[in-house]
Each structure stands twice: as C-alpha cells, then as structure tokens.
C-alpha cells in the first residue's frame, strides 16, 4: 500500500464528491423526505408540508446562487430562470440581501 493516510484523504474526498455529483438532486430530496417521514414516528405530518419543503429548498438555493454569482442579482435571476424583481422579493423574504 503506497502513500500515507494524509496523501490518500484528498483522493477519497474527491471520489466521494464525484459520486455525489452522479446522484441527481431529486434523489437527495427523496432521501431527506424518507428520513423526515420515518422520524415522525407515527405522528401526523404538518399540514403545510409543501410550503415547508419549498422554503427548505428555496432558501439555500438562493443563497448558493447568490454566492456563485458573487451577489450579481441580474446574473442570479438569469441562472434561476426568474426575473430580477421576483429574485429581490425572494431574497427579502429570506433575509438574504
């Protein structure tokens, strides 16, 4: 076996990243929802589950896109496929200005 543990760590981390990239985003959401329902442990789910999920996904999406575009709202709106005024309203809603 060649290389030290320190030398192999970046390779292992890179392999895990590649594997995650191969996995569609919808499968990550599906896994999270399966865990959510399992964690309910017989209790009723909230009545506003749709809005809860949308908010849980929308906020980090907006944050990530704004970071990716270095705060450029025009570019972020283009990447998201929404108009800039809609983006501004959403950023304000989540306190991400």
The residue ranges of every structural domain in the chain are 1-44, 46-97
pLDDT tens over the chain, length 97 residues: 555 555 556 666 666 666 656 778 888 889 999 999 999 999 999 999 999 999 999 999 999 999 999 999 999 999 999 999 999 999 999 999 8
CA dihedral 70, 72, 73, 75 (to 10 degrees): -100
Q: What is the pTM of this model?
A: 0.66
Dist CA 28 CA 7 (whole Å):
30
Closest-CA residue to 29 (of 69, 63, 60): 60
- Protein fold of 46-97: Arc Repressor Mutant, subunit A (1.10.10)
């Amino acid at each position: 076996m060649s290389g030290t543990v320190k030398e192999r760590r970046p390779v292992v981390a890179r392999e895990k990243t590649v594997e995650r990239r191969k996995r569609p985003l919808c499968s990550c959401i599906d896994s999270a929802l399966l865990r959510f329902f399992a964690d309910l442990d017989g209790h009723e789910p909230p009545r506003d589950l749709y809005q809860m999920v949308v908010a849980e996904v929308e906020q980090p999406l907006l944050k990530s896109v704004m970071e990716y575009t270095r705060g450029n709202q025009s570019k972020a709106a283009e990447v998201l496929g929404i108009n800039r005024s809609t983006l501004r309203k959403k950023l304000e809603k989540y306190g991400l200005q």
